[in-house]
Each structure stands twice: as structure tokens, then as C-alpha cells.
Structure 1
Amino acid sequence: MSMFIGFKRLRIQPLGEDLKASGDQIVIQGDPNKGATIKAEVSGISKDPTVVSGSNVGYYTSRKGVGTPKIDFDLLDVPLDSETIILGREKSANGVQYTGEESEAPYCAITMESEDGQGNVALVGFFYGVFSKDKETMNTKEQGETFKPEADAYTFTASGSKQASTNGKYMAKYAGNSATAVSELYKNVLLSDPTQSNSGSQTDTPAKQG
């Protein structure tokens, strides 16, 4: 896989202190009033090589591991309830969101879905990390112009997996038409395979699965 075509869907699975799935997956896939994906930019997944000198030459190159993996998202119209969950904010009985000293984002697992150049499903997943949102933006409505909503910026800062079978791993990636491989990725990252459940619109089968 040398390229991604589009950004179809983001799945978010909040995790509890026991590292098990906590609550339903949050699925952002363009459903009316449920948010849409615009862009995801992954960085920090390669460690900058460091050359160690000895005997007046570059004797050893330290190159193992990752840098500081994170994903910068542009997401449109994320529901307030979903945002409250992933950012660890509080919500009153009347639906008011509160942010303060006790706000603490939960750990989450995520998968991002696209397509490769052959039309096969392309998945990128991160086992463990937290979301943050640093700002809110309001802009004036330009007179005579049609309103065009702007995406909000979220950051997902990844850590190594704490699950026994994937301990220390940060990212999982697959592109192809193997339903078995897709299921493996989902089960390892999200701890369940949403394509094998019966939960309505969240069960769309990825493109060209075999």
C-alpha cells in the first residue's frame, strides 16, 4: 500500500482502568448529526536514527523503537456527548459540558479506515492513547455567503499497548481484501470486530473484503 484514498471512518473505543472496552464504540462516519471525518495526520512513528561514534567513525546507529506517535485530526460536527466522553469532561443532568481541574481524558483505542489504490480496505489502528482538544473557534457569518462549517482540531497522543498479546506495540496497519486480516486488526486494537456485530450502521463491511 503506497497511498490512502479518502478518510471514510474513525472508530473510537474508550477503555476502562482494567484495559477492557468501556461503553460502546464511537463511530464517526458521516451519519447525519453524528460527525464526519475530514483529515488524519499521523506523525512520530519512526525514531530518528542516532549515530554513536567510536574509533573515529560512526560505529553504531541507534534506530530501534518509535518517536512520539500522535495523530492530528480534523473532524466535523462531533456530537457533544461523544466529545464529552473522549475528552473526559463532565456532563450535567441537563446536558451541559464542564471542563476543569478534574477533567481527565480516558484511554482509548482507535482505527481509521480508508482505501488503497486497488479499492481494498486500508486500516490504521492505535492500541492506546488519549484525545485532547486545545481550542474552540467561532467565526463571523459573512453577509451574503453560504455558511460552510469548519472542522475542529483534535489530537490523539499514542502510548504503547498494555494488552498481553500486543504489549509495547503502538500501531497496526493493513490494506487488502482478507476478511480474516481485517478481523484480526479490529480484535487486537478495538478488542472486538464491529463488522461481525449487529449494531446497524456501524457494521458496514470495509470495501472489497473477501
Structure 2
Amino acid sequence: MTMIGFESIEIRVLDEGEPVKDTNVFVLDGTQDKGATKKADITGLTSEIIKTFGSNSVYHTNAKGVGDISVGLELVDIPFKVQNEILGRKKVDGLTSIGVDTEAPLCSLVIWSHDGKGQKIGIGFYKGRFSMEAIGVESKEKDNKELPTEKLTFVPMASDDNKTKGTYVSFATTDEEVTKLRQNLKIAA
């Protein structure tokens, strides 16, 4: 499956409420002042292959399950409200703050792209937490530059819903699957 382009992401804060855009569902799709996507790197999709040697050769291999899955995202102009919601930042004395009680909420995530024929493709993660390790500030120079990217990491966990229990990642490659993926990730009702 070859993916062409990185169209958008949808993030759902997994609270008890119904999905509501700009409240607990956030879309970064290149809409002016709403953020855009640049790059996604998904690692750890397979577990380490363990070899059992016997009779002077590899007798058996075991590679069941997943590895240490992680999604590295490079995004552009993430709205501050979205950052605060998905990273668990809170207001303290009227200021957005990070402290000892800061904990990112559980979220679901879907990455949208297309295949070579133009069919929408989704890579969905049922639940996990976002982190943002660093914030960079740089002096302005006289020449114009691209907007800098902001790097976030999403660390998925296995789903605990009955129909998807134990699943970390699902792929949607047809229109019907795209609809089902959005429902399973609680992005759509």
C-alpha cells in the first residue's frame, strides 16, 4: 500500500461526551489558522523476531504481537487550544501551565492519505497519549522562511472496546472502511 501525501489528521479526546468538532474532535487539514500536517513516522508495528536455535540452525521464530509502537508527527501551526487539550495543559491562576499534575488525556488518532488511484486511506490508532518534548524559539532572520514544524509523539495503547479489544492500529482502504474506522475511533457517532 503506497500512500501519496499527508492530507490531514483527526484527533478525538476520549472523554465521555459525544464527538463534537473543535471541542473533543480536532482536525488539522491545512485550513488557514487551524494547523496542517507535514510528516508522520510510525514505528514499532511488529514485535522483535525471537529465534530459537537447534541442531545448528534456526529451528523456530516467534514474532507474535506488536513492538513499541510510536507515531512521530511533524505538524505546522497547531492551534494553542488544540495543543492544550491533547497535552493536558491546565489553567493555573489564569495562565496555561504545565506542572506535576499535568497528564495528557487518552485520545484516538487517524492519519489520512491517498493511494496512487486517489482512494482515501486511513491509519487509525484506538487510544493513546500525546507528548511534546520540546518547544523551539529562534531569532528572526531577514529572509523569509517556511513556518517551523512542531513535533509531537503519540504512543498508542491497545483498544479495550469489545469489538476491537487488543487492537492497536487499523487501516481503512475503501469508503466503507473509512466510515467504519471513524466510528470505531469515536471520531464520528
Greater RCO, 1 or 2 (C-alpha within 8 Å, sep 6+): 2
Q: Assess, with a 3 A threshold, how the Cα gap between structure 1 residues 61 and 19 changes in structure 2: closer, same or farther.
A: farther
1:27 matched to 2:23? The reply is no
2:3 and 2:116 in contact (8 A); partners too = yes
- Residue 60 of structure 2 corresponds to residue 64 of structure 1: no
Corresponding residue for 1:82? 82
Give the match for residue 110 of structure 1: 109
- TM-score of the superposition, structure 1-length normalised? 0.82
Task: For residue 175 of structure 1, report the CA deviation from its aligned partner.
Answer: 2.0
Residue 147 of structure 1 and its aligned partner are, at CA, apart by 3.9
Q: Which has the higher strand share?
A: 2
2:93, 2:112 → 1: CA distance?
A: 34
Aligned to 2:12: 13
Unaligned 5+ residue runs, structure 2?
Answer: none
The answer on 1:189 being equivalent to 2:172 is no
* Residues 93 and 78 (structure 1), Cα distance of their counterparts in 2 relative to 1, 3 Å cut: farther
TM-score of the superposed pair, with normalisation by structure 2: 0.91
State the one-letter code of the partner of 1:153: K
CA distance in 2, matches of 1:171, 1:148: 32
State the shift of 1:148 in Å.
2.4
Q: Quick one: distance in 2 between partners of 1:53 and 1:20?
A: 52
The structure-2 alpha-carbon separation of the partners of 1:28 and 1:121, relative to structure 1 and needing over 3 Å to count, comes to same
1:127-149 Cα shifts (integer Å, max 9, x gaps): 01100000010111112x11421
Alignment partner, residue 173 of structure 2: 175
Q: Distance in 2 between matches of 1:116 and 1:180?
A: 16
Aligned with 2:173: secondary structure? strand
Q: After TM superposition, which residue ranges in structure 1, 4 or more long, deviate above 4 angstroms?
A: 18-23
Separation in 1, partners of 2:70, 2:33: 27
CA contact (8 A) 2:122 2:173 kept: yes
CA RMSD after TM alignment:
2.0
Shift of 1:20: 7.8
Paired residues, what number?
187
Identity %: 30
Unaligned runs of 5+ in 1: 194-210
